[in-house]
């Protein structure tokens, strides 16, 4: 690897670290300034979710927790494949995302999502940024009051 490619890989890895920390705090300013392009697109349709622009995602407060008290993201095993220009790359990373809250009866409700982000990153004037993101959900598991079960999709979380 050339030094330029090594530097680009480190900067792209930094985007993913900043993403998981900022998204868990719903820190849209950091996500805007350091992670996503202003015209980034988000595709959650494989998990029965919406397709959003960055503006629509922010307005919908997609990272606001949806009433959950605890949210945590881990992304790992990042693969980066540069195009021939070296200014765009396809990336994918495994992601584990546990959520938890206490219901009105004081019982714990937790679930965890396992899946993969498929991203397109671009080298911009502000550095490398995620320009497109597609989520592929592998499985969801959940616990309600100590009972564990696998869920078909995120949309089934409301039924536990």
Percent composition of the chain: helix, strand, coil (DSSP 3-state, to 5): 30, 50, 25
Q: Is 107 left (phi over 0), alpha (psi -120 to 50) or beta?
A: beta
Measured in degrees and rounded to the nearest 5, phi and psi for residue 37 equal -75, 160
Which has the higher per-residue pLDDT, 108 or 86?
86
pLDDT-based confidence at residue 111 (cuts at 50, 70, 90): confident
> What pTM was computed for the model?
0.87
- Rounded Cα gap, residues 24 and 28, in angstroms: 10
pLDDT in tens, 32-65: 999 999 999 999 999 888 999 999 999 998 888 7
Class at the top of the CATH hierarchy for domain 3-159: alpha beta
DSSP 8-class letter at 65? -
Residue with tokens 């998990």: 47
């Amino acid at each position: 690897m050339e030094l330029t490619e090594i530097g680009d890989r480190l900067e792209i890895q930094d985007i993913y670290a900043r993403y998981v920390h900022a998204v868990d705090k719903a820190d849209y300013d950091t996500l805007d300034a350091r992670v996503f392009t202003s015209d980034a697109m988000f595709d959650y349709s494989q998990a029965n979710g919406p397709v959003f622009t960055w503006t629509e995602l922010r307005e919908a407060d997609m990272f606001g927790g949806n009433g959950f008290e605890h949210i945590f993201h881990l992304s790992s095993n990042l693969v980066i494949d540069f195009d021939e220009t070296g200014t765009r790359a396809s990336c994918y990373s495994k992601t584990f995302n546990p959520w938890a809250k206490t219901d009105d009866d004081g019982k714990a409700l937790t679930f965890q999502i396992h899946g993969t982000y498929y991203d397109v990153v671009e080298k911009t004037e502000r550095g490398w940024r995620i320009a497109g993101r597609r989520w592929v959900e592998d499985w969801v598991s959940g616990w309600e009051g100590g009972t564990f079960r696998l869920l078909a999709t995120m949309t089934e979380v409301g039924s536990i």
